[in-house]
Structure 1
């Protein structure tokens, strides 16, 4: 091995003692970094901040950064119980990160000598640190930082970017310590004094997302055979000091990466850095692990890990059977936990409002039903919304939240390909990426034994990545042997929908039939209606060409006016096109014009404005109309002058104004302002 080259294949640069550069990175960007203070017990005042933005709190070990429970990524935590347990046992709290939040985790100890990686990252990618909610990590000797940002849910990031040592990106599948927790050194994790509120997380800059985006890897046979917990237990049999020779260490890392399909990153870092010689190499080990995500082939597999373990008389650790049960590890046998969770008036008022997946129709993480008579067009509506969400395309003038979609096609699957193709042609979206998955296997969500359902849910979470919407088409075909009029049978079906919702965070929508009398709503037990957050009725007109779509139940918001669509032929299928889009009452008033919403979307994508002629060209292509007709539509929807601006669904103001007031011949701009 070359002189000064460590077992991890990186030349040692030397490590300076604690200097001001370890406490300065945040100050350099206008953040006030107060001195950490010693603490004996955690504080839980900050918990409400996370509940407002729907971030899950999880229990951590006492004065530690590690989760208190195994399989914490999969557990469903009730926040009141988490807080009660943490207060009772003096535990720290962690934040389980969802797909659309990323924490920039800064550890100045890993900065190269004489450099400030945080400042360099901010300069290279225009990272708005001063506007990001900011937590000081509590290490008394080496203060670090957590900066919170939003990101697209579908963008999966590596944990580090080459050239910026000491900076990591944590998102889905990871957790960070919550403010109020106690660091092992005795300091307290706390909000920086001038941190913006947590709901005000800015977007992570697009160039940084691209630089950190995880490359797609082809499937490798046998990858992911064991869990991260099994890896940690297996590595306990191996002495890290026996792997100081670089090639042996790298071979073992590759074997562990293959064995967990990349999920054992932190466990391998912890094992590697338990060697006192490399105790400060967290970032280096993590970066080497991340580099394996770009490898196209797995030359070293889990077999190498098995061989190394057999050399010391051990084998891969087997999963603990107790992990199959969702139990509290810290609760003593026979100890009785309180079942009730009481909220104060302040806590109730601070609960976050529902976030729209499809504005006015469907909220995130909800249970919903689309129902109607046979041939009413309800499946066309489900496909229409699924494609809009999977592609991030506005849904008839309403800006959706883009995300992954799973469409469970238990009925009519052979015809769905034609519908998807027609939809893309109609929206001129043939080249757009759609994060949509189709499943057509048999599935029974009302089975008396839920083992099959749990196995299905596990497969969904393991294989499909983040999801925003799951469509079950139809209830009848996924409830074999169940009596739709039985509250008990439908109770099992509802429990399965909730299990899917809780495991994925997605809105779960079931397509169902109405009874013989449409006025009586959905067919079957009233338990189904009672469990739904939203129900949408689809009724076909007598002309056979148009449908009426009406939200009949909206648990957490006002119901809007009915929407009407024509079912028009495109290619060898049908698509929905709006006819009379009646203006909704309340918060959506004035924001339902599809042209107005299109103008807002296109102008925002171009920095706040778009030339009228360019928007007209988009309308021409989308609606197959002449330039004159397109301009007339735009001018009817978008008023002249800032003082006459119209508001969209999400509160943006849109108006027309000359590019140059002194020379109107230069053309007209469509302007938008949030």
Structure 2
């Protein structure tokens, strides 16, 4: 290690050091996944979606799976304590949680999930949050539900204010345990896939995911801004629940909704999965038309077949694995090639049907 700037002993200015490649590389640590192939510990991610898309249902499901160490659609999940910021309608979150406990048959008294109910300025109280986390942690996962409930600024379109807000949320990755931080976010006015705050917010986080709902099926998808390996959509089914235990003030059964992860990916056949086959078709013949891709994966290139292939291509495009070139033909990106070479087939299967 060599010194770039030498300061006197009485100077309050910090020293700046230049590291050799050897010293710099020595600090490397292997990625530690909380949910294998998707969310890493000590990273912060947004889950962006409009109201009614299933953000809270999915966030509570993720919290339960982490606390119990349950796999998520075939992906391994590291078991660990969870801290859940229930800022947006904590009474609703409380109802959803007790209903989820009944549906999943876990013990509300012993499951290792802690809650902070109510909204407040997290920037003003970050010291108190850190103090409480040191006393009650460590934590593997921190969920913020939602970002807006803890924003202390006056304008969530202000780059300066949203950058500061995101930086405060990022500091939560340094809580005891080095947790993964998931921030449930409302979308910006410019697009459903971007969290409120746009690029100012995105630049301070490690990755953005978004939810896409079709009827009772919700897909968790990867946005272009994502540090980590590519993954195809993770599916959830929103299922209505009616309690046999919990009652409202008039004695009627409580109703809620649960997000159930899609079936285990390992149970699906990669040879018959169009998304998986499309990746290989693009590898074999770059710049293919939709009709050519349909034929390559055994789908009749009629309007219905082309429409099905086009939907898969759009999903692959949003995941950064494929893109359209000249003449609107499709080809693999570097991320798509990496996905084929680095990930086992079962992790490439779509979960959005």
Aligned twin of 1:495 = 167
CA–CA distance in structure 2, aligned partners of residues 568 and 557 of structure 1 = 31
| DSSP 3-state at the match of 2:58 | helix
| DSSP 3-state at the match of 2:14 | coil
Over residues 338-367 of structure 1, what are the superposed CA-to-partner deviations in whole Å (9 max), with x where a residue is unaligned? 234535067438722311101122101111
Aligned twin of 1:422 = 99
Please show how residues 204-243 of structure 1 align to structure 2 within 5 Å.
none
- Number of aligned residue pairs: 261
Aligned twin of 1:476 = 148
Please show how residues 226-305 of structure 1 align to structure 2 within 5 Å.
none
Instruction: Please state if 1:514 is matched with 2:187.
Output: yes
Over residues 434-457 of structure 1, what are the superposed CA-to-partner deviations in whole Å (9 max), with x where a residue is unaligned? 2101111332134xxx4x322332
Structure 2 residues not aligned, in runs of 5+: 243-254, 266-274, 277-338
Aligned twin of 1:557 = 228
Counterpart among 201, 205, 224 of residue 528 in structure 1 = 201
Structure label with greater radius of gyration: 1
CA–CA distance in structure 2, aligned partners of residues 349 and 519 of structure 1 = 41
Counterpart among 403, 413, 430 of residue 80 in structure 2 = 403
Using the TM superposition, give the Cα deviation of residue 468 of structure 1 relative to its aligned residue in structure 2, in angstroms.
1.0
CA–CA distance in structure 2, aligned partners of residues 497 and 578 of structure 1 = 27
Give the conservation status (yes or no) of the 8 Å contact 1:392–1:400: yes
Using the TM superposition, give the Cα deviation of residue 502 of structure 1 relative to its aligned residue in structure 2, in angstroms.
1.7
Counterpart among 247, 250, 256 of residue 573 in structure 1 = 256
CA–CA distance in structure 1, aligned partners of residues 347 and 101 of structure 2 = 22
Higher share in strand: 2
CA–CA distance in structure 1, aligned partners of residues 207 and 230 of structure 2 = 10
Please show how residues 425-504 of structure 1 align to structure 2 within 5 Å.
425-430=102-107, 433-446=110-123, 450=124, 452-462=125-135, 464-504=136-176
Superposed CA RMSD in Å reads 3.1
CA–CA distance in structure 1, aligned partners of residues 110 and 341 of structure 2 = 34
CA–CA distance in structure 2, aligned partners of residues 513 and 438 of structure 1 = 21
CA–CA distance in structure 1, aligned partners of residues 65 and 225 of structure 2 = 21
Using the TM superposition, give the Cα deviation of residue 466 of structure 1 relative to its aligned residue in structure 2, in angstroms.
0.7
Aligned twin of 1:379 = 56
Give the conservation status (yes or no) of the 8 Å contact 2:219–2:235: yes
Over residues 297-334 of structure 1, what are the superposed CA-to-partner deviations in whole Å (9 max), with x where a residue is unaligned? xxxxxxxxxxxxxxxxxxxxxxxxxxxxxxxxxx9431
Give the conservation status (yes or no) of the 8 Å contact 1:552–1:559: no
Using the TM superposition, give the Cα deviation of residue 537 of structure 1 relative to its aligned residue in structure 2, in angstroms.
0.3
CA–CA distance in structure 2, aligned partners of residues 588 and 432 of structure 1 = 38
CA–CA distance in structure 1, aligned partners of residues 20 and 144 of structure 2 = 34
Give the conservation status (yes or no) of the 8 Å contact 1:397–1:593: no
Give the conservation status (yes or no) of the 8 Å contact 1:373–1:539: no
Give the conservation status (yes or no) of the 8 Å contact 1:457–1:499: no
TM-score normalised to the size of structure 1? 0.35
Structure 1 residues not aligned, in runs of 5+: 1-79, 89-330, 595-674
Aligned twin of 1:590 = 345
| DSSP 3-state at the match of 1:471 | strand
CA–CA distance in structure 2, aligned partners of residues 373 and 590 of structure 1 = 32
Aligned twin of 1:211 = none
